[in-house]
């Protein structure tokens, strides 16, 4: 097949590329956006005889890019789409028996591989814009390389990119003969002048953008392509551009992937003669697409990307700073056909902190779709495939756990027949499961409505606030005929006609392609079961209202969620939540539906956990026991447990005592003194029991457990024989030595038995009146004479007058100073000249002597 093609710079690289594919069956092409690689390479491959009658499948990351590339190539061939060149995207297929080049989106490639792992009938697979590193592109390349290695060595694989490290990709896709060849095309780029216009501190991004658009229209020529993070910013900028003499002959277009095809075509087409065009685009126009006539790019430097929150089990959109590679790609859009200008809405000094490249989606994404597709291919361990970035183990395990919960995988991790059907559907696993289960219940229409609504952006909008969360308001829209242009009053929000139309079309596509048998699309269906169906897709987000006036909820996965105070669902005791926003500890509920406890029981009773539970109640200061039924973090029922086992009560007491700590225990005085003696002994000899806080907590059940029989409250804990419990830690072989080495009392010369204070385990104290120690020439000791007691010699008023460990030295010296100071104050007490020969006494002389 021969084609007369318009020369482009990449033509010089094509012979080398074709030769590489003939020799190696794998290759990498690096070419900047201006090279025209997206449309030139597949057409050039048609001229090679070695492909025979086989087709070429080319992967594009987005539906809009796939349709645009196929349309352009078909035009180059002098045909309409569906002839030599066709495309397959979700919800639309334009191919025929004559088609040789199929441009597909990434999910379509996965389904092709699922239907036939050999890709029979296809001779080459091209991955375009691979630098975007979408999850499906990474998965598709891994599966295609496995097919090539195991089943079809002749299958050609070509990876094309403008900014990716080609050598790294070449090493990944190398066959047994060594690294894959890398073909580089210099491309053609006109000079682009860069201007920096940082936002003012008091200015929102929409205000800055509209101001710079007007500046660019005044100072430059050609059409203007503006990069904004999402549809909300596009809408607000478009509103700011309405009216004004400077925009009298300017068409303003919005460009994003979910727009009607006619509006997409209008945004991509040249402006009429004498008019200029401003295209407000998301990152969809960064690569793959050619917006004709563009000579000016305005880049706010932001992009909205999905990131998976593993803790909450949900994917949320994050607005992030673009990478330097993405910023360069956007800038290059201005220099494809003539010299251009690029306005960057940030300070030039910020560029050194921008990431070099966009993070691969596989690093942050929900891996449930990937895990399902791998299971469908018979692959349980993703590491048996080749990846630039392998899936992380923890998120992948969580994804498989979810698939098991949805019935897609069996207990051994193998795909089930239900999982096979899920994998064949153009839906995320949660929504595929929902739709299939709805069909088994005779609620196919309602299931398709929910799936379609959750696939698209919200059909309700509320200016200055949030639309109501109730998903039933949205399903009601899809039941109606017409375009959904309902007034704001009915739903408390305005209705997005385009989003409603797309959701209705998506619903019809699902019904048509889902093999559900005869479904009457006009048959009435009820919204009563929306919550129950929603819970099938999001079983981890079944939520229970917390007590209190605020509409706060606890989800089954343990995360918190909150509704707007005025939301119509604010008093619903149970919710099934589909969409959340924000950050922990409480996410904001965006879309949900009420569900009853009876519906929860009907679908999830097999997952209920019924367990007896005993715990310490601080209010009653006693052990309470209940029988509790739970679903994850949710408590569904709790009732008193009468026949609680003694060991369960004991465990609750032990847990409580460990929680409050040793100092809070109701020690008896005798137990406290015994513990201090044991701590002294352990300090001298580690063979004695360790009764420190940490040691007692660790061994609590061992030494205290046997004494807790029939104990259930604090009063009984106070009555416990703590002394005997603690003494149980002392082996019988040591008990006889306890009183010898660490006696409780010491007999002094007066005959009194004085208690030893072991509070200071380094220096136990004997506090005794000075007169009771007359004649005592040596300091008393502990631990068989190895530890001298610290003597606190007291006045008749029981106040220390001397602290010493050298009693003999005291009698010889300091005693006389003490005698001189105190004998006049205490004349009835003896103060002999020779204390060593005086009679010790604990009494004072009678009055009058």
Q: Tell me what the mean pLDDT of segment 430-437 comes to.
A: 94
The H-assigned helical ranges of 705-843 are: 714-718, 722-727, 732-741, 807-812, 814-822
**212-236 residue pLDDT tens:** 999 999 999 989 999 998 877 888 8
Report how far residue 205's alpha carbon sits from residue 345's, in angstroms, rounded to the nearest whole number: 9
Tell me, yes or no, whether 488 and 599 share the same domain.
Answer: yes
Structure tokens at 439: 């069909």
513 and 457 fall within a common domain: yes
Calculate mean pLDDT across residues 820-828: 91
Instruction: List the one residue out of 634, 625, 692, 688 whose CA is nearest residue 662.
Output: 692
**Domain identity same for 695 and 814:** no
The answer to whether residue 98 sits within a structural domain is yes
Could you tell me the CA-to-CA distances from 612 to 554, 556, 641, 797 in Å, in that order?
Answer: 22, 20, 7, 60
Summarised one tens digit per residue, pLDDT across range 106-156 is 778 877 887 788 888 898 898 888 888 888 889 888 888 888 888 888 888
Rg (CA), the chain: 41
CATH code assigned at 102: 3.40.50.300
- The whole-number pLDDT of residue 46 equals 76
Question: Does residue 75 form part of some domain?
Answer: yes
Q: How far apart (Å, rounded) are the C-alpha atoms in residues 607 and 407?
A: 13
* Same domain, yes or no: 105 and 167: yes
Q: In this predicted model, what pLDDT tens digit does every residue of 5-22 receive, in sequence order? A: 343 455 566 677 777 776
Domain boundary (340, 363, 386) is at 363
**Residue 332: exposed, middle, or buried by beta-carbon count in 10 A (0-12, 13-18, 19+)?**
buried
* Per-residue pLDDT at 6: 40
Asked whether the predicted pLDDT for residue 428 surpasses 90, the reply is no
Q: Which residue from 180, 154, 181, 140 is spatially nearest to 52, judged by alpha carbons?
A: 154
Confidence grade of residue 176 (pLDDT, cut at 50, 70, 90) = very low
551 in a domain, yes or no?
yes
Tell whether omega for the bond before 585 is within 30 degrees of 0, i.e. cis. yes
Instruction: Tell me if 449 sits within 8 A of 507, measured CB to CB.
Output: yes
Q: Note whether 538 and 622 are same-domain residues.
A: no
Write out pLDDT tens, residues 241-283: 887 777 778 888 888 766 666 777 777 778 888 888 999 988 8
Instruction: Express the helix, strand and coil content of the chain in percent, nearest 5 each.
Output: 40, 20, 40
Query: Residue 63: is its pLDDT beyond 60?
Result: yes
Residue 375 domain-assigned? no
Provide the number of structural domains found in the chain: 5
CB 1 within 8 A of CB 78: no
**Which of these, 70, 115, 113, lies nearest to 88 by C-alpha position?**
70
How confident is the model at residue 848, as a pLDDT?
A: 59
Mean pLDDT of the chain: 86
Kindly give, in sequence order, each residue whose CB lies less than 8 Å from that of residue 632, ignoring residues fewer than 6 positions away.
540, 542, 555, 556, 557, 558
Q: Which of 184, 208, 237 is the last residue of a domain?
A: 184
For residues 432 and 488, membership in a common domain is answered with yes
pLDDT value of residue 28: 72
732 with 787, same domain: the answer is no
Q: How many CB atoms are closer than 10 A to CB 526?
A: 12
User: 534-558 burial by CB neighbour count: b if 16+ within 10 A, else e?
Assistant: bbbbbbbbbbbbeeeeebbbbbbbe
* Mean pLDDT across 199-222: 88
- Determine contact, residues 697/662, Cβ cutoff 8 Å: yes
- Same structural domain, 661 and 781: no
Considering the entire predicted model, what is its pTM? 0.71
List the Cα angle 788/789/794 in 5-degree steps. 145
Q: Directed axis angle between helix 37-45 and helix 63-76, to 10°?
A: 50
pLDDT in tens, 331-351: 888 887 788 999 999 999 988
Structural tokens at position 542: 């079944």
Residue 302 reports pLDDT greater than 50? yes
The pLDDT, as a whole number, for residue 2 is 34
Residue 557 neighbours by CB under 8 Å, 6+ apart: 312, 313, 540, 541, 632, 633
Q: Is the pLDDT of residue 35 over 90?
A: no
The CB density around residue 306, as the number of other CB atoms within 10 Å, is 13
Model pLDDT for residues 589-598, shown as the tens digit of each residue:
999 999 999 9
Q: What's the residue count for the chain? A: 849
Asked whether 554 and 633 are in contact (CB, 8 A), the reply is: yes
Residue 384 has pLDDT above 90, yes or no: no
Q: Is residue 368 part of a domain?
A: no
In this prediction, residues 398-420 reach a mean pLDDT of: 92
Rounded distance, CA 234 to CA 210, Å? 10
Which residues share a beta bridge with 57?
Answer: 102, 125
Distance CA 703, CA 43 (A): 83
225 bridge partner residues: 279, 297
Last residue of a domain, one of 127, 157, 184: 184
Report yes or no: 3 and 74 within 8 Å, Cβ to Cβ.
no
pLDDT of 484 reads 43
Buried b (16+ CB within 10 A) or exposed e, 474-485: bbbbbeeeeebe
Residue ranges making up the domain that contains 27 = 9-184
pLDDT cut 90: percent of the chain above it: 45
378, HSE (Cβ side, Cα atoms, 13 Å): 6
Longest dimension (CA), the chain: 141
Mean of pLDDT values over 147-169: 81
Q: Please tell me which of 321-335, 382-396, 661-675 the model is most confident about, judged by mean pLDDT.
A: 661-675
Q: Is residue 487 part of a domain?
A: yes
Give the per-residue SS3 of 451-484. HHHHHCCCCEECCCCCCCCEHHHHHHHHHCCCCC
The pLDDT-based confidence of 42 (bands split at 50, 70, 90) is: confident
Question: pLDDT grade, residue 485 (50/70/90)?
Answer: very low
For 688-742, how does the pLDDT look when each residue is reduced to its tens digit (9 = 90+)? 999 999 999 999 999 999 999 999 999 999 999 999 999 999 999 899 899 999 9
Q: How far apart are CA 759 and CA 677, in angstroms?
A: 8
Does a structural domain hold residue 829?
A: no
Same domain, 139 and 68: yes
Looking at the fold, whether 439 and 325 belong to one and the same domain comes out as no
Quick one: pLDDT at residue 849? 58
Mean pLDDT value across residues 789-811: 94
> Does residue 717 share a domain with residue 663?
yes
Poorest-confidence range of 346-360, 538-552, 625-639, 722-736? Answer: 346-360
pLDDT at 188: 62
The residue to which tokens 């015994």 are assigned: 674
Position 655 pLDDT exceeds 50: yes
In this structure, are 464 and 584 located in the same domain? yes
Does residue 391 form part of some domain? Answer: no
- Residue at token pair 């929306």: 530
| Average pLDDT score over residue span 651-671 | 95
């Amino acid at each position: 097949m021969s084609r007369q093609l318009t020369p482009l710079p990449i033509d010089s690289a094509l012979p080398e590329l074709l030769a590489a594919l003939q020799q190696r069956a794998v290759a990498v092409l690096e070419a900047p956006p201006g090279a025209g690689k997206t449309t030139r390479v597949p057409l050039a491959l048609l001229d090679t005889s070695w492909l025979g009658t086989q087709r070429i499948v080319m992967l594009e990351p987005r539906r809009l890019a796939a349709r645009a590339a196929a349309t352009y190539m078909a035009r180059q061939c002098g045909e309409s789409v569906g002839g030599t060149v066709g495309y397959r995207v979700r919800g639309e297929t334009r191919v025929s028996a004559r088609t040789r080049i199929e441009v597909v989106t990434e999910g379509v490639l996965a389904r092709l591989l699922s239907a036939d792992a050999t890709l029979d009938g296809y001779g080459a697979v091209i991955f375009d814009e691979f630098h975007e590193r979408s999850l499906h592109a990474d998965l598709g390349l891994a599966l295609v390389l496995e097919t090539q290695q195991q089943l079809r060595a002749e299958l050609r694989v070509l990876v094309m990119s403008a900014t990716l490290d080609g050598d790294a990709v070449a090493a990944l896709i190398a066959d047994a003969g060594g690294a894959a060849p890398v073909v580089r095309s210099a491309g053609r780029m006109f000079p682009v002048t860069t201007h920096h216009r940082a936002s003012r501190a008091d200015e929102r991004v929409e205000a800055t953008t509209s101001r710079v658009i007007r500046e660019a229209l005044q100072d430059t020529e050609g059409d203007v392509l503006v990069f904004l993070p999402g549809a909300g910013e596009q809408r607000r900028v478009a509103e700011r551009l309405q009216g004004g003499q400077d925009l009298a002959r300017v068409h303003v277009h919005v460009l994003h992937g979910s727009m009607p095809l006619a509006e997409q075509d209008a945004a991509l087409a040249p402006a009429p003669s004498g008019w200029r065009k401003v295209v407000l685009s998301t990152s969809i126009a960064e690569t793959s697409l050619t917006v004709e006539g563009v000579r000016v790019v305005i880049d706010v430097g932001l992009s909205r990307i999905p990131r998976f929150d593993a803790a909450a089990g949900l994917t949320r959109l994050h607005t992030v700073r673009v990478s330097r590679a993405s910023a360069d790609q956007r800038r290059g859009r201005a220099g494809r056909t003539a010299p251009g200008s690029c306005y960057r809405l940030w300070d030039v000094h910020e560029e050194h902190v921008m990431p070099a490249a966009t993070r691969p989606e596989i690093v942050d994404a929900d891996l449930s779709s990937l895990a399902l597709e791998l299971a469908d291919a018979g692959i349980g361990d993703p590491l048996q495939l080749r990846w630039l970035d392998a899936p992380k183990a923890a998120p992948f395990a969580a994804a498989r756990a979810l698939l098991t919960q949805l019935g897609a995988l069996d207990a051994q991790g193998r795909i089930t027949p239900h999982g096979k059907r899920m994998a064949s559907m153009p839906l995320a696993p949660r929504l595929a499961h929902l739709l299939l289960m709805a069909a088994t219940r005779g609620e196919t229409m309602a299931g398709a409505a929910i799936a379609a609504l959750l696939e698209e952006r919200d059909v309700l909008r509320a200016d200055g606030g949030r639309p109501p969360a109730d998903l039933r308001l949205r399903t009601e829209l899809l039941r109606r005929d017409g375009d959904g242009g309902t007034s704001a009053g009915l739903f408390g929000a305005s209705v997005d006609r385009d989003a409603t139309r797309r959701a209705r079309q998506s619903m019809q596509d699902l019904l048509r392609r889902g093999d559900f048998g005869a479904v009457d699309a006009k048959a009435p269906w009820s919204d009563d079961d929306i919550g129950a169906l929603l819970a099938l897709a999001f079983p981890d987000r079944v939520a229970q209202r917390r007590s209190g006036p605020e509409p706060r909820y606890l989800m089954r996965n343990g995360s918190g969620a909150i509704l707007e105070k005025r939301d119509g669902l604010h008093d619903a005791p149970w919710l099934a939540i589909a969409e959340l926003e924000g950050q922990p500890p409480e996410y904001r509920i965006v879309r949900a539906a009420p569900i009853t406890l009876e519906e929860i029981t009907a679908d999830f009773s097999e997952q209920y956990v019924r367990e007896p539970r005993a715990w310490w109640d601080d209010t009653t200061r006693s052990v309470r026991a209940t029988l509790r039924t739970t679903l994850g973090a949710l408590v569904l029922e709790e009732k008193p447990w009468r026949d609680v086992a003694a060991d369960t009560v004991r465990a609750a007491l032990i847990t409580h005592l460990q929680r409050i700590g040793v100092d809070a225990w109701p020690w008896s005085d005798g137990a406290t003194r015994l513990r201090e003696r044991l701590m002294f002994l352990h300090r001298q000899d580690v063979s004695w029991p360790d009764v420190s806080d940490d040691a007692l907590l660790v061994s609590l059940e061992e030494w205290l457990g046997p004494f807790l029989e029939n104990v259930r409250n604090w009063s009984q804990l106070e009555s416990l024989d703590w002394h005997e419990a603690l003494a149980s830690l002392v082996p019988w072989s040591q008990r006889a030595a306890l009183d010898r080495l660490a006696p409780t009392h010491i007999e002094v010369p007066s005959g009194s038995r004085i208690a030893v204070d072991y509070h200071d385990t380094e220096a136990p104290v004997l506090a005794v009146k000075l007169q009771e120690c007359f004649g005592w020439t040596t300091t008393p000791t502990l631990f068989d004479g190895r530890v001298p007691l610290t003597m606190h010699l007291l006045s008749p008023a029981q106040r220390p007058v001397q602290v010493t460990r050298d009693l003999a030295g005291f009698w010889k010296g300091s005693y006389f100073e003490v005698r001189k100071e105190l004998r006049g104050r205490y004349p009835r007490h003896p103060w002999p000249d020779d204390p060593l020969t005086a009679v010790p006494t604990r009494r004072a002389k009678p009055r009058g002597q």
